[in-house]
Each structure stands twice: as C-alpha cells, then as structure tokens.
Structure 1
Amino acid sequence: MKITKEMSITEIVQKYPQTVDVFMKHGMGCLGCAAARFENLAQGAMVHGIDVDKLVEALNKAVE
C-alpha cells in the first residue's frame, strides 16, 4: 500500500495527482481547503462520513 490513512490529504494529492477524481467521487471536494493541509486522511473521511478503509483502497487502486 502506498497511501495510508495517516497521510495528509494534501500530501496524497501532491504525490499522486491522479487521486483527485477518487476524492471527488467519494464526496471530498475540499482538497484545497485549509483543513486538508492539517487533517490526515482518516480525520477528513470521518468529518465527511466516509468509510476510510474503502477510500484508502480506492486511492491505492488509482495509483497502481
């Protein structure tokens, strides 16, 4: 696994720009918001009511 739920949202998008579509499909369109810089993936998913494990799986599929 390349992407983990401990990584920040901004870090993921910077390293793997192809993940933007995955975030959008899961209802996380706030990639440029201030919280995305400080929240890790698990925190951001929780705020949006998203299953973080499914999101991590989808993100990792996108970067394979």
Structure 2
Amino acid sequence: MAQITKDTIIGDILDIAPQTAPVFMSIGMHCLGCPSSRGETVEQACMVHGVDVDALLEAINQMVPAAQ
C-alpha cells in the first residue's frame, strides 16, 4: 500500500495494518468497529477529535508496512 494520507479511510488502514488500532484509540476513537468511524478519513477523524493530522500520519505511517 502507498503511504497513508489525510484522505485515507480509517477502515482501509485497519484492514491492512490492524496494529495501528491503539494509535486511533489513543486519540479518542474508541469505537473502531462502528461503520461511521471506519468510513472516516484520517483528516475527518482528526478534526472531530482535535488532533494534529500531520502528527497522527507520522505515527501511523511508521507502523504501516511498505508497499510491495
């Protein structure tokens, strides 16, 4: 998969890198199984939870396997 961006859907990230769930939980996304949270983009989640999107992207991209 390519690098995760602010437009990437959270459900897609969780599907390819379930190990990122604790990062989302740490910003207040406690319902990762809910259809609405899985359908949000990273940017939307950051806006709702008052989180710096660039900082979250950096943390997530360090955990996501490189594209093959």
TM-score, normalization by structure 2: 0.78
1:37: how far off? Answer: 3.4
Partner of 1:14: 15
Contact 1:10–1:37 (Cα < 8 Å) also in 2 = yes
Deviations 1:4-46 (A, max 9, x none): 1101110110011111111112222221122123321101110
1:31 aligns with 2:65: no
Identity over the aligned pairs, expressed in percent?
50
Count of aligned positions: 64
User: In the aligned structure 1, how far is the partner of 2:31 from the partner of 2:24?
Assistant: 9
Q: How large is the RMSD of aligned CA atoms in angstroms?
A: 1.6
Does 2:44 correspond to 1:43? Answer: yes
Judging by fraction of residues, say which structure has more helix: 1
Structure showing greater Rg: 2
Gaps of 5+ in 1: none
Aligned partners of 1:9 and 1:37 also within 8 Å: yes
